[in-house]
Amino acid sequence: MEYLKIIDKRFDSFKFNKIFKHCPVYSIILYNKHIVANFYHTINFNSLKMKKLIFLVILFVTLTTYAQKTPNLVPTPPMGWNSWNKFGCDVNEKLIREMADAFVVNGFKDAGYEYIVIDDCWQIARDSKGKIVADSTRFPSGIKALADYIHSKGLKFGIYSCAGIRTCQERPGSNGYEVIDANTYAEWGVDYLKYDWCNSAGIDPVKAYTDMSNALSKSGRPIVFSMCEWGNSRPFTWAQNVGNLWRTTGDIQDCWDCKKDWGGMGWTTILDMQVGLEKYAGPGHWNDPDMLEVGNGNMKYNEYIAHFSFWCMLASPLMAGNDIRNMNDSTKNILLNKDAIAVNQDKLGIQGKKIYDDGDFEIWSKPLDHGDFAVIFFNRNEKKYDFPALWEKVGFKGSKKVFDIWQHKMIGTTKEMKKVSIEGHSVLFFYLKN
Ligand code: GLA
């Protein structure tokens, strides 16, 4: 008699079923430290074949338990706010508290935004014991008090450091201080660490990020580990068990496609660099094409809509980078579009990918839960054009209802829509439902 009980529905067709068909008596099938299936089987213990199988099962269970060092703290992409894009080094505790207040008052918390992260420049020195010291002029109450305040609002608190000797703004980095820093963050109540890569000449990225990842794991507090290594060593190929998210490019700028000498770039350039990376993302480990520029003032409304739509399509972390205390309605409408956010937060956690490209016109598609799809039709040209809808490229069979995410309404079916008309530098962002 044999009996297989799948506990986690996502694993109905899980390939290990096949392996475990031959396993002995009772096995708990673990994946990412979650029990996903139980397997019962009658066996002849005396056969050599069975002894070998018992050994293999024990080995497998041990390996799967050990391999996932990073707890799955972010089953969907993290959402929050980070100080860097708008405020740079000009951070202080009043600003961060006001941002937490604005999160609640302006509906960000209700929309799912959760982490308030201070980027570079909060730290100023190390004390005689090597403990990191916050700038007491800018943070007179100390970091712990700030974390407590943010927690009192029902939000989570993030901080920044660097794998190099010094941060990008020449503040003390964590190289050689990983354990003491991780323990300090845990003591302060930090929930999220962004970990940069400046002043890292001669440092091995795998070792540096693994050292901090291990230190965080041992700190006794669950802390999301956001790796900011700019994609140099292709962290998506090695960091699945090290970080929860990893930057894939240099720094985003508030522009369509500008390029800075030092490596900063506009969001469409970043978008092009995400092609092919979709296979590396999934629940708990995300590609990070950098924080949002929506609302920072240098792009048009339709360009910010396109930027935000793509960050949702890419299952990217949604870290707002504007002043959320003072926002116009357009900015609010973009950042708080619940249907766009639902695409980003879809529980399958599949990163959308480009499926058609004729130069100016692109189609991107993201499979969603319940057999739904998100689709973006993208016009890169500055002029308005009509394009063929090309639904057959999207990857579903039959007709679906088309919900327009920016018009907030159903607009027909895929069967009826043969072409799409798109303004210059704009997207159409659709949710296709059965
Ligand atoms: C690097 C990072 C940015 C920001 C700055 C802070 O450039 O990529 O996101 O954190 O450092 O100095």
Kindly report, residue by residue over 162-186, the tens digit of the pLDDT: 999 999 999 999 999 999 999 999 9
Q: How do residues 383-425 score in pLDDT, each as one tens digit? A: 999 999 999 999 888 999 999 999 999 999 999 999 999 999 9
pLDDT of the residue at 246? 98
**pLDDT band, residue 62 (cuts 50/70/90):** very low
For ligand 1, whether the C-beta of 155 sits within 6 Å is: no
pLDDT recorded at residue 51:
61
Report, as an integer, the average pLDDT of 251-268: 98
pLDDT of residue 6 exceeding 90, the answer is no
Instruction: Judge if 79-344 and 353-433 fold alike in CATH terms.
Output: no
Residue-range domain boundaries for the chain: 2-67, 79-344, 353-433
* CATH for the stretch 79-344: 3.20.20.70
Higher pLDDT pick, 266 / 49? 266
Give the residue numbers annotated as catalytic, written as ranges. Answer: 196, 251
How far is ligand 1, taken at its centre, from the CA of residue 292, in Å? 13
Distance 196 CA to ligand 1 centre (A): 7
| Residue from 90, 159, 168, 245 whose mutation best tests the ligand 1 pocket (most atoms within 8 A of CB) | 168
- The finding on whether 228 has its CB within 6 A of some atom of ligand 1 is yes
Residue 288 in contact with ligand 1 by CB distance below 6 A: no
Residue 356 in this model has a pLDDT that exceeds 60: yes
Say what the pLDDT of residue 17 is. Answer: 44
293 lines ligand 1 (CB under 6 A): no
Q: What is the pLDDT of residue 46?
A: 56
This prediction has a pTM of: 0.85
The finding on whether 333 has its CB within 6 A of some atom of ligand 1 is no
Residue 251 CA: which ligand 1 atom is closest? 8
Residue with CA closest to ligand 1 atom 6: 120
Question: In the beta sheet, which residues pair with residue 37?
Answer: 6, 29
Give residue 205's pLDDT: 98
Asked whether the predicted pLDDT for residue 52 surpasses 80, the reply is no
pLDDT value of position 72: 80
Higher per-residue confidence, 35 vs 239: 239
| Average pLDDT, rounded, for the chain | 89
| CATH superfamily placement of domain 353-433 | Golgi alpha-mannosidase II (2.60.40.1180)
Overall size of the chain counted in residues: 434
Give the residue, 107 or 69, on which the prediction is more confident: 107
Q: Identify the bridge partners of residue 162 per DSSP, sorted by sequence position.
A: 196
